[in-house]
Amino acid sequence: MTIWRRNRSWLWPAFFIAPGIILFGIVIVGSSVQSLWISFFQWDGFDEMQWIGLGNYIEMLDDPQFYISLRNNIIWLAVFMLAPPLGLFFALLINQQIRGMRIVKSLFFMPLVMSQVAVGVVFTWFYDPSSGLLALFFEAMGATAPALLSDPRWVTLAVVFAALWPQVSFCVILFMAGLNNLDESQIEAARVDNARGWKMLWYVILPQLRQVNFIAIAVTVIGALRSFDMISVMTSGGPFGSSNVLAYQMYSQSIQAYRFGYGAAIASVLFAIMVVFISWYLWRMLRMEKEGA
């Protein structure tokens, strides 16, 4: 009893934190380490694992598909960077007090409510060159619609733009929450100080949205790097692997080609890229918290 009483100041917190730590340890840390371990083997998922050291990584360096996937990931990242500014733009637009704005606002929530798979399916139909909405549009203009999803030159961009839609509305919602939390009296002070339009936005509004802006960018970066579901639904990486990204290549190598070792190696590389961004994120987070204190 006395042992409990003497130590309860740390026993209680430990008791409540333990489930989270255990779960995180097994599901995230454990499987990451295991994945890294597997990447040093040749393994089809059933037979004996065969140690090949850095073999998988060396193979990756010579794999043209790896570079296509990497390049596509960079395209995803670049195009996705449109999401935060577009989100801010729409958030400012629909933040106006105009009658009927509520309906418009709820329209912006739509793509978030829908699952990514549904968004992918809808866009696949939209792009359909024979009967899709895009085809009808082109027909009306007297042109023939390009088959975006089967053209290696366009397919990645077509998928990214489909994925951009929910990402933008996610940013819209982040920024809308931020705009709702603006310090009203600061804006009033700025109005008295004669700040208007762009100056008001630049000097007074944006600095207050810094935290939100940072979260929007971080979430968008991570969203671009882990893109998977849209590719799976819309193209399965095709045609000829031209819309593949690292996450999807990892999946198709492991699950479809029974090459768990190689898949794990791709996963490890993707993880390494992510770590860079996540470290930057955490570092900024900690710095912000320090400034806030």
Partner 1 sequence: MSNLEISNISKCYEGREVLKNVGFKSSEKEFIVVVGPSGCGKSTLLKTIAGLTSVDAGRILIGEHDVTRSEPGDRDIAMVFQSYALYPHMTVAENMGFGLRMAGHPKQQIREAVEHAASILRITDYLDMRPKQLSGGQRQRVAIGRAITRSPAVFLFDEPLSNLDAALRTQMRVEIGQLYRRLDATMVYVTHDQVEAMTMATRIVLMNSGVIEQVGSPIELYTNPVNRFVAGFLGSPRMNFIEASVTEVNDDQIVVALEGLDDIRVARRHGVGVSRGDTVTLGIRPEEISVGRQRSHQLPARVELVEQLGREVIAYVDTGSIRAIESENGLGHLTIQVDRKSAMSRDDDIHIGFDAEDIYLFNADGMTMTPNRDTEKSPVHEVSEA
Residues of this chain that bind partner 1 (CB under 8 A):
183, 185-186, 188-196, 199, 203-204, 207, 210
Nearer to partner 1, 9 or 194 (CB): 194
Helix, strand, coil % in the chain, rounded to nearest 5: 75, 0, 25
CA pair distance 287, 279, nearest whole angstrom: 12
Nearer to partner 1, 94 or 204 (CB): 204
- Give min distance, CB of 203 to partner 1, in A: 7
Tokens representing 10 are 């740390």
- Give min distance, CB of 114 to partner 1, in A: 37
Identify whether the C-beta of residue 236 lies closer than 8 Å to the C-beta of residue 120: no
- Give min distance, CB of 281 to partner 1, in A: 21
Nearer to partner 1, 144 or 186 (CB): 186
Most distant CA pair in the chain, distance:
86
Amino acid type, 105: K
- Give min distance, CB of 99 to partner 1, in A: 15
- Give min distance, CB of 178 to partner 1, in A: 15
CA pair distance 287, 285, nearest whole angstrom: 5
* CA angle centred on 80, ends 71 and 67, rounded to 5°: 10
Strand partners, 42: 50
| Residue found under tokens 């762009």 | 198
Nearer to partner 1, 19 or 292 (CB): 292
Nearer to partner 1, 139 or 193 (CB): 193
- The alpha carbon of residue 279 and the mean position of all alpha carbons in its chain are separated, in whole angstroms, by 16
